[in-house]
Amino acid sequence: MVNSLAIGLGTKDKKLGWLEFFFVEPCSGIDDKFLNQLKKIITIPNQTLSLNDDKVIANLLAILDKTNDQHKKLIDFIAQATKKASYLSAKNRQLVAILLTDDVALSDVGVAYLKLHLLSYRHFKPNELNLTNIFSVLPNVAWSNKGPINPANVADELWKARFTDDALFIRSIDKFPRLTDYVIPANVRIANSARIRLGAYLGSGTTVMHEGFINFNAGTQGPNMVEGRISAGVWVDENSDLGGGASTMGRLSGGGDILISVGKNCLIGANAGLGIPLGDNCIIESGLYVTAGSKLKVLSKDGVIVSESVKASQLSGKDNLLIRRNSLNGQIECLTTLAPASLNAELHKNN
């Protein structure tokens, strides 16, 4: 069930409308009793509600359970937002609530941000939420050390900052902010936070090194070592390693309909690439990009030829594969491996 309640702050631009939303960890999987109570207060679910009515806020606080740790966070957040109302107004920020009951295509900026939060808080795994229309719904934003800015206003803001001691830095101009400005997943290491978007799912024990990248709606079960690229829609199971510069094929731009995934105990070598789903205990040689149409010679574990030529797509989801390029003739070969890859436990025990 997608049923979720989120309380947060939204930043609004006079011309562009909603720029972004920050939510306290949402309450998901709420029961029918609480859901029915919420529907009496938030009468229009699945869209952003500005909490500017004292009666609505009071009614919402009345049904939140102070003995529930998650509810208590929401109560404290509402209290802080109410106390800082004048400051928030001056910064064009508003206290908002969203009651999510239907997982349908996106049409609301707040709901889009809520779904990204739900993924990064590990309430849902990649590909479990409907993110259709997300690129058309999310506005392009200039992300700065002063918060989100309408890109059309950046030039003016930059020269104004030159006349003060209050420097302005533009980190990026994009539809997605960095994960760590919104959610800090427990028990992970992130060497370069700019390379992980909000909406990424980082499982406990995940280490992302400086060249690692994780897109929204993609992620790791944990523990994992990520030194390569995890594209949107891609899932990497536990104890698997993406070597430096390795790539996984996504579906956003010209990709096929096949969801790429990496099973348990796999190694994608440095600068290698993956365009098929892998099962468990698989290894791809460094520098080798395997697409669905790649032709492979299949060998038994004893080196006996099983097939002279098969498409890599025919091996999708298979376990115990070692895929390599023959250095003498350049042909891609697939062998059975009985020695699965393993992570260096020392690198993950302090996450």
SS3 246: coil
Rounded Cα–Cα distance for residues 161 and 150 (Å) = 16
Q: Could you tell me which residue, 348 or 28, shows the higher pLDDT?
A: 28
212 in the same domain as 67: no
DSSP state of 111: H
pLDDT of residue 165: 85
Which residue range forms the structural domain that includes residue 35? 4-135
pLDDT of residue 258: 85
185 in the same domain as 153: no
SS3 327: coil
189 in the same domain as 306: yes
> Would the CA dihedral through 85, 87, 88, 90 be positive or negative?
positive
**What is the tally of structural domains in the chain?**
3
pLDDT of residue 301: 78
pLDDT of residue 339: 65
245 in the same domain as 145: no
99 in the same domain as 24: yes
299 in the same domain as 198: yes
User: Which amino acid makes up residue 67?
Assistant: T
Rounded Cα–Cα distance for residues 175 and 168 (Å) = 19
pLDDT of residue 74: 97
CATH of the domain at 130: 3.30.70.2010
51 in the same domain as 158: no
- pLDDT over 90 (residue 239): yes
330 in the same domain as 217: yes
CATH of the domain at 228: 2.160.10.10
Rounded Cα–Cα distance for residues 195 and 333 (Å) = 33
Edge-to-edge order in the sheet of strand 141-144: 147-149, 141-144, 170-174
Estimate to the nearest angstrom the gap between the alpha carbon of 270 and the chain centroid. Answer: 23
- The three-point CA angle 124-130-131 to 5° equals 100
Helices (H), 12-138: 32-41, 54-63, 69-83, 85-90, 109-120, 134-137
Active site residues: 227
Residue percentage of the chain with pLDDT more than 70:
95
Query: Residue 2 in contact with residue 100, Cβ under 8 Å?
Result: yes
pLDDT of residue 271: 98
- pLDDT over 70 (residue 248): yes
* Prediction pTM value: 0.95
> Chain-wide mean pLDDT for the chain?
94
Instruction: Name 351's Cβ contacts closer than 8 Å, sequence gap at least 6.
Output: 187, 188, 189, 204, 205, 206, 207, 223
Mean pLDDT to the nearest integer, 245-263: 84
- pLDDT over 60 (residue 3): yes
212 in the same domain as 261: yes
Within a 13 Å sphere around the CA of 158, how many CA atoms are in the beta-carbon half?
Answer: 12
30-56 pLDDT, tens digit each: 999 999 999 999 999 999 999 999 999
Rounded Cα–Cα distance for residues 21 and 216 (Å) = 16
108 in the same domain as 25: yes
**H-helix or E-strand spanning residue 236:** strand 235-236
- pLDDT over 70 (residue 244): yes
Query: Residue 290 in contact with residue 311, Cβ under 8 Å?
Result: no
201 in the same domain as 329: yes
- pLDDT over 80 (residue 337): no
45 in the same domain as 169: no
